[in-house]
A = this chain, B = another copy of it.
Amino acid sequence: MAENTGGEGLLFLTDEQLRKGIEAMFFAYRGFTADPDRILETKDYGRAHHRAVHFIHRSPGTTVSNLLLILGVTKQSLNRVLRSLIDDGLVRSEKGKVDARERHLHLTDKGQMLERELSDAQRARMRAAYRTAGPQAVAGFRQVLEAMMDPEMRRQYNRLKEGG
C-alpha cells in the first residue's frame, strides 16, 4: 500500500491515515511511559508521583496552584501524591515569603536522585527514537504534538518551553 505521507504538500487526510496516527499515539504512549513505570514500581510510586517530580524539577519553587494547573487534577488528588513525596523526603514545601499562603515546592537531594533516574530512562528512549527518525522527523513530531494540544495546555507547554 502506497503511504503517501511524503512532503508534496497535498491533502491526504483519509480516515485511514488518521486512524494510523491515532493508533500510533496509543502504542507510542505506552512505550513512552514503560521505562519510568518499571522504575516507579520498585519504589512504590506511580505515574502521578513521576509527573509531580518532573514538574517540580522543571520549575523549582513552583506553587501548588501552579502545579494543579499544569497537571489538571484536583488538589485532593495532587495533595495525596505530594504528601507521600514530602513525607518520604523527596520534596520540600516552603511557605512563601511574599505570600505566605503559597507553598513553594522543591526537590530534595533524594528527590533529585529519583528525578534523574526517571528522566534518564525516559530520555534514553526518546533519544533512541529521535536518532532513528532523524532531525527532520523530530521537528515534524513536535509540530504535530503541539497542534494537538488544547490551547490552554499549549500555553502551559510554551511557558515551560522557554525556561521558566
The answer to whether A138 touches B142, judged by C-beta atoms less than 8 angstroms apart, is no
On chain B, the residues within 8 Å of A30 by CB distance are 72, 149-150, 153
User: Contact partner of A19 among B34, B123, B144, B145, CB < 8 A?
Assistant: B123
The answer to whether A27 touches B135, judged by C-beta atoms less than 8 angstroms apart, is no
The answer to whether B138 touches A137, judged by C-beta atoms less than 8 angstroms apart, is no
Interface stretch, picked from A5-13, A76-84, A86-94, A98-106, is A5-13
The answer to whether B148 touches A140, judged by C-beta atoms less than 8 angstroms apart, is no
The answer to whether B27 touches A139, judged by C-beta atoms less than 8 angstroms apart, is no
Nearest CB in chain B to that of A3: its residue? B139
On chain B, the residues within 8 Å of A136 by CB distance are 6-7, 136, 140
The answer to whether B139 touches A31, judged by C-beta atoms less than 8 angstroms apart, is no
- Give min CB distance, A136 to chain B, whole Å: 4
Inter-chain CA distance A150–B122, complex, in Å, is: 13
The answer to whether B147 touches A143, judged by C-beta atoms less than 8 angstroms apart, is no
A2 within 8 A of B: no
User: Contact partner of A20 among B9, B122, B133, B142, CB < 8 A?
Assistant: B142
Which 4 A/B pairs are nearest by Cβ-Cβ distance? Answer: A140-B140, A137-B140, A129-B147, A7-B136
Which A residues contact B (CB, under 8 angstroms)?
Answer: 1, 5-13, 15, 17-32, 34, 51, 54, 58, 72, 119, 122-123, 125-150, 153-154, 156-157, 160-163
